[in-house]
Structure 1
């Protein structure tokens, strides 16, 4: 039975849905939607503390509307004039959804399959208890000091409570193995939230092997983890942050598959495709893996003749699209042992590459890494003998719903099969509706931030199993830095404020006013074309021609 001093409301009766109940509370008990409350019931003759989430709040008794008619006169003044008492005037009716009691054997919530009786007192759920049972931490008690656990990521605290009062630590192993989606409108904090997770994954208790695909150069401040005490271990560990700029990114031509090559050529005819496929298979069967476009063309000429028109047309396309592109090389390749290593975060900076090249380097790297992880699990020689996690900014670019990306196939494979081989993916996007639904639906943990677009909300509803109606209702009203965390890393969704980063943020908008002013001042210090004419023989009108 709850201590009456802790009671914040009283059950009035069942709600509209089988798992809902309604309760009433006076105005001095400020309970917001999304808050967690508890009540006690008997389950198999044992008292159980059952958790519920507040989903709706409405005023059922207040001052008469006539008291509010004059904006110049406060309603309390009107009430006092008429001798009407205002103490305890307001009464609220709230709806709550039963989550369940925490089963310490199953280490998750169990539904008691009974609603609380009318008159049952309700209390606010205790901080430490929520910190233990909301995330999927596998705790064998419902009140644990989660900060003492290894492999957890502190992402923030419950939004409806004071800052840092009820903190949320989610298990890294859950989202790193069953995949992650961070979904938010532009400016809502998705890259910031991703960086918070990166910081947590690189702490001494996790030492992740992490690869970030960065199309816009937004993660260039992560190196400041190095030298920070929060990231240093007692054994001398500190994270290694490696940046691969576009000039260092290389794809060995022999690593491409025929589908990759077709994707970069300009609409080759069926006849061209036939000739290229035949020659490509012959080249792939060679023992040497270091061959280029000259050798490929020679193979086609040997097979179909040097004067074959289709071979000639293919030569022009291959030289223009592959040979003259610095991304492709007959011999060089990105060394896997340089970009994935425990305790290392590698950022692939792809901001100067066009979209197709970004997709191709991603395709080849994912294919190679997946092959190595597969080999390691099957006890074959492998260059990657540890689990890896790859995070994709602008995830819809690499796994588009349209299907028009060479990287989509391997991303589908990894999201469906990668868990068995220790290969996890994280998708970050401001347009969930533009992400391939097979990929999105395989992301077991979701961090959803402000999303107003109805089609994007529908994409989340259709692809994210844990996104109930009460969760979706929260998304349009969230402000930057607020998020709903749901899925495999959670026992039930929770609304949080994302914590502050320990490293500076590098993905904010440019300070355009400041840059305009600086550019103007610089412009004033330099002589204009017309002013330069004053030093010569010509006349200056003081007006620059735009011709």
Structure 2
């Protein structure tokens, strides 16, 4: 065995998850040639093997030194170059069986250590086959493809992490494309808050976007539960229950029950309806009732009901025109001013929301306005996730920033609920899983609540997917440049980490704490990775690896501008006109 050209050295120290290797002096150079291929000895992150009978242990080089860890006296240091390797054990292969993570048999002192050849790697990673998708090439070989187990990648969840410009968007696009190209029954939903991915999947996806003429994004207000809707309408803090909150709750429940027999998806028992039930009702009618109650005048001071109203004009609630009443008398005579002022502030806030055109995608969703409209919730969900392209991009670039949290939470909850309640159906749930991808996740999935994410609606909904989604066929991927700002609950449930270059120490620390304990040597390489190169660890890959991600074209629209080329041009002031820019700012529409 020592005579083999792959012989590297011998084990001189063993602990619970690592070994120390002394490199033999007989190796002719630091870059021996094995089977016509050059191998670099002592490269951080490369693999070595320890054959023990019919067992082959594999480990990753964590550190290199010219003095053993056991030697403390500097006088014992030698000049023979990098002679000692610290190796973290990661898995084993018994006979011709498949490689498995974890160590059942540990090496002993003087056991031989060999270079891992390209043939060994091919044996570990295996050929492309059913249930695998290619992520890229192994960094140590231009010929060795690295594949991920699709089941574990999706249903055990994953995270794509990397600083700006490291290749995050390309990695996301490539993985989604691999799924679409190889699995005709697949389906995925991408939450894209900056509108970057539609160009990358032109002709391969269905894009929903606010004010889009083909597929406008519609999220009817009545799909919110009471906590979400009351926070959005009147700023009600979660858990608060003042008299006006109780009245708002009762009014919403009353109208939902009135519509129980009109639902296009099928009538339901009104006794099962709660204020949280996603049932159409007309919020404009609710506002109109509150406005009428607050501003009405009455012929009686003690009996202020609809029967004693001094009404001159009913108004038009659909066009937000309030009812008109006789002026109340100054003094003690009729008409009397309304004493029901409890809803005064809520009526004003609701009116303000209804008049704001930025929220038309919620308050005026054509086809979903109320129970009498042509569409129901089944039409909405089916449109999002059931179509010929199999990839849905929910472009939230036109959603007001203060609504990103609720919007992502609502979209996630509706899709998750459809998978949960349809888990036994043949066409959805566990019988046809779904992948949800959350781009720029640090913006709406924060670790802590702040002024922007007061109640963390998005975080709570996505955490539920990461904790329970697997059981109902929902897998998830978070994509972020700031893992240190992401919910710890989400990262704790991630099964596969695809970590590109990260330079921030807190971000690297977060990845190191979330990744398997014996992978620290690989995680330490994050700041030195090249663009498009990643450390992949977790349940979907046979052995933790440094991988060059396959480049996907066309690229998502997230590249840096070409600064030099644009600054070389000579712009003329006569060609500069900001009118269209200002119009877009005012209408909240992209040019």
Q: TM-score, normalised by structure 2?
A: 0.71
Q: Structure 2: any 5+ residue segments left out of the alignment? A: 32-39, 69-78, 263-278, 297-337, 370-376, 578-591
Structure 1 pair 97–339 and aligned structure 2 pair: CA distance change class (3 A): same
Could you tell me how far apart the structure 2 residues matched to 1:212 and 1:507 are? 15
Residue of structure 1 in register with 2:107 after alignment = 115
Answer yes or no: is 1:93 the counterpart of 2:84.
Answer: yes
How big is each residue's C-alpha offset from its partner over 1:135-172, in whole Å with a ceiling of 9 and x where there is no partner? xxxxxxxxx4x22x02322111222x132x32211012
CA contact (8 A) 1:293 1:319 kept: no
Q: Which moved further from structure 2: 338-347 or 28-37?
A: 338-347
Measured after TM superposition, the shift of residue 54 of structure 1 is 0.9
Q: Which moved further from structure 2: 334-343 or 362-371?
A: 334-343
Equivalent of 1:241, from 180, 205, 214? 205
Measured after TM superposition, the shift of residue 323 of structure 1 is 5.2
CA contact (8 A) 1:175 1:489 kept: yes
CA contact (8 A) 2:159 2:497 kept: yes
CA contact (8 A) 1:242 1:345 kept: yes
Measured after TM superposition, the shift of residue 28 of structure 1 is 2.5
Measured after TM superposition, the shift of residue 426 of structure 1 is 0.8
Local SS of the residue matching 1:202: helix
CA contact (8 A) 1:297 1:311 kept: no
CA contact (8 A) 1:327 1:357 kept: no
Structure 1 pair 2–216 and aligned structure 2 pair: CA distance change class (3 A): farther
How big is each residue's C-alpha offset from its partner over 1:397-452, in whole Å with a ceiling of 9 and x where there is no partner? 23211242322221111111110111111100111121111112112111112222
Structure 1 pair 205–253 and aligned structure 2 pair: CA distance change class (3 A): closer
Local SS of the residue matching 1:363: helix
Measured after TM superposition, the shift of residue 211 of structure 1 is 1.0
How big is each residue's C-alpha offset from its partner over 1:294-338, in whole Å with a ceiling of 9 and x where there is no partner? 222356579999643342211221232355311213625772222
Could you tell me how far apart the structure 2 residues matched to 1:206 and 1:393 are? 24
Equivalent of 2:118, from 123, 127, 139? 127
Could you tell me how far apart the structure 2 residues matched to 1:322 and 1:472 are? 50
Matched pairs, number:
467
Residue of structure 2 in register with 1:48 after alignment = 55
CA contact (8 A) 1:466 1:486 kept: no
Measured after TM superposition, the shift of residue 56 of structure 1 is 0.8
CA contact (8 A) 1:265 1:317 kept: yes
CA contact (8 A) 1:445 1:487 kept: yes
How big is each residue's C-alpha offset from its partner over 1:29-73, in whole Å with a ceiling of 9 and x where there is no partner? 32211111113102xxxx222212111112459xxxxxxxxxxxx
Structure 1 pair 108–323 and aligned structure 2 pair: CA distance change class (3 A): farther
Q: TM-score, normalised by structure 1?
A: 0.77
Could you tell me how far apart the structure 2 residues matched to 1:326 and 1:506 are? 27
Q: Which moved further from structure 2: 500-509 or 435-444?
A: 500-509
Answer yes or no: is 1:394 the counterpart of 2:362.
Answer: no
CA contact (8 A) 1:157 1:498 kept: yes
Structure with more contact order per residue of length (Cα contacts < 8 Å, sep ≥ 6): 2
Local SS of the residue matching 1:14: strand
Residue of structure 2 in register with 1:411 after alignment = 462
Residue of structure 1 in register with 2:250 after alignment = 278
Local SS of the residue matching 1:326: helix
Local SS of the residue matching 1:415: helix
Measured after TM superposition, the shift of residue 353 of structure 1 is 1.8
1:17-56 mapped onto 2 (5 Å cutoff): 19-24=18-23, 26=27, 27-29=29-31, 30-31=40-41, 32-42=43-53, 47-56=54-63
Residue of structure 2 in register with 1:259 after alignment = 227
Equivalent of 1:344, from 369, 375, 390? 390
Answer yes or no: is 1:152 the counterpart of 2:132.
Answer: yes
Local SS of the residue matching 2:86: strand
Measured after TM superposition, the shift of residue 367 of structure 1 is 1.7
Q: Which moved further from structure 2: 255-264 or 174-183?
A: 255-264
Residue of structure 2 in register with 1:314 after alignment = 346
Residue of structure 2 in register with 1:326 after alignment = 360
Structure 1 pair 178–343 and aligned structure 2 pair: CA distance change class (3 A): farther
Local SS of the residue matching 1:220: coil
Could you tell me how far apart the structure 1 residues matched to 2:355 and 2:156 are? 39
1:185-196 mapped onto 2 (5 Å cutoff): 185-196=163-174
Could you tell me how far apart the structure 2 residues matched to 1:107 and 1:303 are? 73
Measured after TM superposition, the shift of residue 279 of structure 1 is 2.6
Residue of structure 1 in register with 2:533 after alignment = 482
CA contact (8 A) 2:429 2:472 kept: no
CA contact (8 A) 2:161 2:483 kept: yes
Residue of structure 2 in register with 1:168 after alignment = 146
Could you tell me how far apart the structure 1 residues matched to 2:64 and 2:512 are? 23
CA contact (8 A) 2:46 2:60 kept: yes
Residue of structure 2 in register with 1:363 after alignment = 409
Residue of structure 2 in register with 1:536 after alignment = none
Measured after TM superposition, the shift of residue 393 of structure 1 is 0.7
Local SS of the residue matching 2:524: helix
Answer yes or no: is 1:57 the counterpart of 2:47.
Answer: no
Could you tell me how far apart the structure 2 residues matched to 1:326 and 1:254 are? 13
